[in-house]
Structure 1
Amino acid sequence: MNAHPHRTPVTEARPPRAGHVRLTWAQPEDLVGHELRQAAQDGRDARAIEERWYAAGGAPAPDRAGVSEPPAPPRLRALAERLLDELAAIDSPSAAEEPTGLDEIMALCPHWPGPPGAARTAGDRTPAAGGDGQPADRAPAVTHARLHAAWLGRAAGCLLGKPVEKLPLDGIRALARAAGNWPLTTWFTERGVPADLLAAHPWNRRSAPTSLAETIDGMPEDDDLNHPLLTLLLLQRHGRSFTTADLARLWLEELPAGRTFTAERIAYGNLLAGVEPPATARHRNPFREWIGAQIRADVHGWTHPGDPAGAAAQAHRDAVLTHTGNGVYGAMFTAAALAVAAAGESDVHGCLAAGLRVVPPHSRYARAIRLGIETARAEGEFDAVVDRLHAAYADTHHWVHVLPNAALLAAALTHADGDFTRSIGLAVSGGWDTDSNGATAGSLAGLLAGAPDALPEHWTAPLKNRLATSVSGFDRTGFDTLAALTHQEALRP
């Protein structure tokens, strides 16, 4: 909500900042701009606070970077902290239709899934568990091969999106077309791309050395893989009955603070300041409806084959550490859709339908998913789908917000109709949070493929059956080993 783009921050004399640390996604003067935008999306009237902020010399939040320069002077930073608290006190008119509590969410979902094997409601496209001859009250078991394909799919989709993360849509299209790779069917490359185009649209600085066709050597570290590893650790230590506090303690023990971003970084800082969950998700956290919880949901779905309700409830306990409302729904939707895919008894469209059943139908998240599906069905060319979604969201939502990314993910999966290459290629080609969308699309498409050898070799061979991570005990672990460990948790009562 850059309502005052002509305003510039007040500058005051300050000593030189040689060797200063300017932490991203954490500076109060940046958080205010993000919270003002979130307030507008929620329908909260923050006009008076917005005017005070800009009158004092405050600036809008950065459009793409995680931090602005230069730092705000002390008086402006102090004002930012006060305004964040005032913004949090404004009631949201969307709260009744977008609750965060699980009981309230379930009460709003008329087609909330029953236990595995329960009778389906009319019009439900999700196959009932028990169709393979197992007792009706048991979900079908997920196979090691299917989980192996899911891990590989998640890694490949993430890696495809890494070099173009943060790039604008026209830059992604131009780079791929210049390499003869549009629509996307293989990795991004510098080969054949004119130097002036590379200068105009530089690759993601941190990712390019390890994520272009000519530089890939195994799966490099990424939060989209770190969080599934942490979820696996969580289940190994605490089982399915883990609490949100268990997850918080695990993060403090195993997750380096510098490997967190947006809502996760704010919640981590809140934990260090003594804030208890779930207040960690709300306190001065303008990123609480961004994509972070959605990227943490996979293992919850993978380990609940045929049980979308159980997967969604488990993902909810994870998500509320850092997110509220639509941010939580992203995790629940993804976990439920993946749980159905893990059972191997549905197509991609049934998986998406199952995900919608655990999301309040009048929420903005549900509307985003429906928009993505409907737009994909209406347009023959996916570029036209993306253009329509960007017209709907690009001017009002940050590129990491969950809503535009959810719409794009649903559109890509619908348009690809289960094809693995198209699933990850379309998800990444739409821009926004490219590595996260590619990862989730690859996870679901990998489950539907059912086995590693069902995935095209040009996506899996460069991964070299290993990933890099700062999560203790997992660096250079093979995806086959991760599948075996995940399979153990899926079989645990």
Structure 2
Amino acid sequence: MRVQDIGYTPSPKFELDHLVDDVRRYQSLAAEFGRAEEADRIVAATREALEQKLADFDELVSTAPAEPDEPETLADIHEARPQGERRLLAEVPEDYLSRWRGSLLGRGAGCTLGAAVEFWSVDQMEAWGRQFDEEYPPTDFFSFARLPGSPRYIVGNTDDLRRGRMQYIPVDDDTAYTLIGLLTLEEHGPEFTPEQQAATWQRNFPIHSEENGSWGVFWGERRFLQNLQQGIEPRRAGRHRNPNVQSIAAWTRADAWGYAAPGWPEKAAELAFKDASLNHRRNGVYGTMFMAAAVSAAFAVDEPAEALEIALQEIPKESLLAEGVRWAFDVSSQVSDYRDAARLVSERYPHMFEGHAINNALYVVFGILLGGRDFTRVVGETVAMGNDNDCTSATAASIVGATIGLENVPAHWTEPFQGRMQNYLRDLPEFLEVDDIGERFVRQAKEVLGRS
């Protein structure tokens, strides 16, 4: 498949938004004119019609013909991938914990930095930096947060994202996914089934807080849990009425599988496939396999770009994601900073969803190619590219952190966390010691590598 094969002209986003807004305003206006009952009937009919159209979209996607270049079973994915180095290490490396700390604490730093400006445009972020006289691209955490004091992710607060205010890795779904992977492995082992994974998710993830109004999960993950609540069986719940099957979300869950299979990218990708297939398809799944394999390979190489090259060997070579990653490497000489990267990606995928697996994966690639082993440049440039930039910066930081080890991550990115992370999963306490999590991943890594 080639990128030119997916050309389309989408309905203008704001046109649809305005239509929904007009419905709300007309309903209010009708009530003011004494016609509330009739307005409610119109709204109910509108909702019913929209529900039917969404069902039609779901049917359209679910019955789409198979794409030979983008297979959906693990066996077919293996058949479609290029030749590669499937395993780099026979056992857990002696420096595992140093690399793991660099990766997890690095992930926390990248996520925290990006969360302050998530989904902001390049121009908005630059203006933000000028407003508060911040160095840009950022070389440290932001000193100010939007909507200060607002709740986030059930137990957190936006003030936790500010330089000088944080005392632990602030809570986020992107860090919770690393923990849910650990819990899944501890409870069910690497042979976990969709039903077992679903049970672990249901028991642990709060969807929404009635107390403070914050959400615990978004997009396809929220839809998956809501479908489970409605009694849909796990093997269908992740895809039913889910337009996010090629989103970035699944590959924010990738790190746990790389941690559990250090130096064994093929196994990390296999575990990632099982996880992502729960509620993603095609490039949404490949993105997770690619990132998990990159994290895994990072435990065995000295250059982050090499980890990306090895990871590319674990996904279908003609898929849109693989084609995009190869393109990013090919044009990297044209990219001198975040602006070049953002411009080139937006030109190549002009209508792609801001949370798509592909465009965001290329920001990770460009960030790593720009910064190499320079952790600060990698996270700063990646955040500055925009889109889902807490996810992209977290993953880029994780790959670099595992490559260079904690001792080579500048201390100002990790010392504010004081070796702790905040959590909202129900099976775990609100505050966790990073070293304790590391020891638990060591046990899982020994278990997984010992099964060879």
Which TM class, normalised by the smaller chain length? 0.7 to 0.9
**Alignment check: 8 A CA contact 1:288 1:322 kept:** yes
**Alignment check: 8 A CA contact 1:163 1:204 kept:** no
Equivalent in the alignment of 1:221: 171
**Alignment check: 8 A CA contact 2:421 2:432 kept:** yes
What pairs with 1:111-122 in structure 2 (closer than 5 Å)? 111=83, 113-114=85-86, 116=87
Equivalent in the alignment of 2:211: none
User: Of 138, 142, 151, which aligns to 1:184?
Assistant: 138
User: Of 182, 191, 202, which aligns to 1:241?
Assistant: 191
Aligned mates of 1:248, 1:414 — CA distance in 2: 36
- Structure 1 residue 234 displacement after superposition: 0.9
Aligned mates of 1:229, 1:400 — CA distance in 2: 22
Equivalent in the alignment of 2:127: 174
- Structure 1 residue 483 displacement after superposition: 1.2
**Alignment check: 8 A CA contact 2:139 2:376 kept:** yes
Alignment root-mean-square deviation, CA: 2.7
Aligned length: 410
Equivalent in the alignment of 2:59: 89
**Alignment check: 8 A CA contact 2:97 2:438 kept:** yes
The residue type paired with residue 348 of structure 1 is P
- Aligned with 1:354: secondary structure? helix
Q: For the structure 1 residues 247 and 106, does the alpha-carbon distance in structure 2 shift closer, same or farther, using more than 3 Å as the test?
A: same
Q: For the structure 1 residues 185 and 94, does the alpha-carbon distance in structure 2 shift closer, same or farther, using more than 3 Å as the test?
A: farther
Aligned mates of 1:419, 1:260 — CA distance in 2: 32
Shift >6 Å, 4+ stretches: 14-17, 201-204
The residue type paired with residue 108 of structure 1 is A
**Quick check: 1:482 aligned with 2:452?**
no
- Structure 1 residue 156 displacement after superposition: 0.7
- Aligned with 2:116: secondary structure? helix
Aligned mates of 1:16, 1:158 — CA distance in 2: 45
Aligned mates of 2:252, 2:161 — CA distance in 1: 19
Q: For the structure 1 residues 263 and 214, does the alpha-carbon distance in structure 2 shift closer, same or farther, using more than 3 Å as the test?
A: same
- Structure 1 residue 139 displacement after superposition: 6.9
- Structure 1 residue 474 displacement after superposition: 3.8
**TM-score of the pair, normalised by structure 2:** 0.84
What pairs with 1:332-347 in structure 2 (closer than 5 Å)? 332-343=289-300, 345-347=301-303
Aligned mates of 1:453, 1:4 — CA distance in 2: 45
Equivalent in the alignment of 1:318: 275
**TM-score of the pair, normalised by structure 1:** 0.77
Q: Sequence identity, in percent?
A: 29
Q: Report which structure shows greater RCO (CA 8 Å, sep ≥6).
A: 2
Q: For the structure 1 residues 226 and 87, does the alpha-carbon distance in structure 2 shift closer, same or farther, using more than 3 Å as the test?
A: same
Equivalent in the alignment of 1:387: 343
**Quick check: 1:99 aligned with 2:55?**
no
Equivalent in the alignment of 1:453: 407
**Alignment check: 8 A CA contact 1:376 1:412 kept:** no
Q: For the structure 1 residues 391 and 151, does the alpha-carbon distance in structure 2 shift closer, same or farther, using more than 3 Å as the test?
A: same
What pairs with 1:315-464 in structure 2 (closer than 5 Å)? 315-343=272-300, 345-393=301-349, 395-450=350-405, 452-464=406-418
Aligned mates of 2:295, 2:54 — CA distance in 1: 36
**Quick check: 1:145 aligned with 2:70?**
no
The residue type paired with residue 234 of structure 2 is P
User: Of 103, 115, 137, which aligns to 1:162?
Assistant: 115
| Unmatched runs of 5 consecutive residues or more in structure 2 | 1-9, 32-39, 209-215
Aligned mates of 2:232, 2:446 — CA distance in 1: 35
- Aligned with 2:387: secondary structure? coil
Per-residue CA deviations over 1:433-453 (Å, capped at 9, x if unaligned) read 111111111111111112x33
